[in-house]
Amino acid sequence: MAEEKAKRELPVFGIGVGLPEELRSAPRFRKKVLTQAVRIEGPFMVETSEGVLRCEDGWLALDQRGYPYPIAANEFDLIYEPVDQSDAIPDTVPDEWDEPHGEVPL
């Protein structure tokens, strides 16, 4: 019961809910690391460190720890740009992830 009450007291932000006014004048930040990504056309699912995520159409990327995550195609186009491959990071895919683990039920 206390856990349920604590969850209700957390602030909620988002489209249609509102954002803190100070966000308008907050400092700006840029991602400081390169990302590996491959384009996946059509729907796909990714087993992430936060659970299974579905992407309708987009990119399969790896975070800096080597964990996969999906990025919607329109978001990717807004956030990322190609880099000179001489600046590329080494392969971050752990060897044990090379083998498919089967289908994730929808």
pLDDT digits (tens, 9 = 90+) for 20-49: 889 889 998 877 788 889 999 999 999 998
pTM of the model: 0.63
Encoded amino acid at 86, one letter = S
pLDDT at 20: 87
How far is the C-alpha of 43 from the C-alpha of 90, rounded, in Å?
Answer: 28
| CA separation for the pair 104, 78 (Å, rounded) | 29
With tokens 């460190």, the residue in question is 49
Residues forming a β-bridge with 54: 45
Residues of the chain with pLDDT under 70: 1-8, 87-106
Q: Which neighbouring-strand residues pair with 18?
A: 14
Instruction: Give the burial string for 37-49 (b: 16+ CB within 10 Å, else e).
Output: beebeeebebeee
Pairwise CA distance, residues 30 & 51, whole Å: 26
